[in-house]
Structures are given as structure tokens and as C-alpha cells.
């Protein structure tokens, strides 16, 4: 028998550095219950890297839970 998993809910932030020099940040947000889910990944360059090659990224997904499977919705 497979144990019941707890809902996946996180708000995380990572500051990316190299030798103490800030290069960027990553934010991860997840929210899940028995019926639906939502996830966001947000990235952004910072510091000296942002001066030469500024990058931004945002990925979002959401959907519903059905029969133990993730079903994407728009």
C-alpha cells in the first residue's frame, strides 16, 4: 500500500552567488491540494551579470488533480 502524500506547498527563494558575487535569484512557488495545483518558477539575473546580459524568466503551470494524475489546464 502506498502512503498518502501531503500536499506540495512551498515558497522558496535562492540567491545565486559565485565567490560572493551576486549573479541572480530563483523563486519557486508551489501550491497543491486534493483537487488542483499551481506552480511558478521565476528567475532573474542580478549584480554584474545583469549589467552585461540581463535575463528574466517566468514559467507558470496550473491544473487539476484527477484519479491521482496531474491534468494541466489553461
How confident is the prediction for the chain on average, in pLDDT?
90
What's residue 7's pLDDT? Answer: 82
Q: How much is the pLDDT for 33?
A: 87
**What local confidence, expressed as pLDDT, does residue 19 receive?**
94
What's the pLDDT at 68? 77
Alpha-carbon torsion (58, 64, 70, 71), positive or negative = negative
User: How confident is the model over 12-27, as pLDDT tens digits?
Assistant: 999 999 999 999 999 9
Question: Which pTM value belongs to this model?
Answer: 0.79
Distance between CA atoms of residues 68 and 63, nearest Å: 12
| Residues whose CB is less than 8 angstroms from the CB of residue 57 and which lie 6 or more positions away in sequence, other chains included | 41, 42, 43, 44
Amino acid at each position: 500500500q502506498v502512503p498518502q502524500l501531503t500536499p506540495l506547498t512551498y515558497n522558496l527563494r535562492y540567491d545565486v552567488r559565485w565567490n560572493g558575487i551576486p549573479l541572480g535569484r530563483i523563486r519557486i512557488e508551489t501550491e497543491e491540494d486534493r483537487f488542483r495545483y499551481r506552480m511558478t518558477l521565476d528567475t532573474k539575473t542580478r549584480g554584474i551579470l545583469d549589467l552585461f546580459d540581463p535575463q528574466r524568466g517566468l514559467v507558470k503551470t496550473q491544473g487539476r488533480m484527477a484519479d491521482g494524475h496531474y491534468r494541466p489546464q489553461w
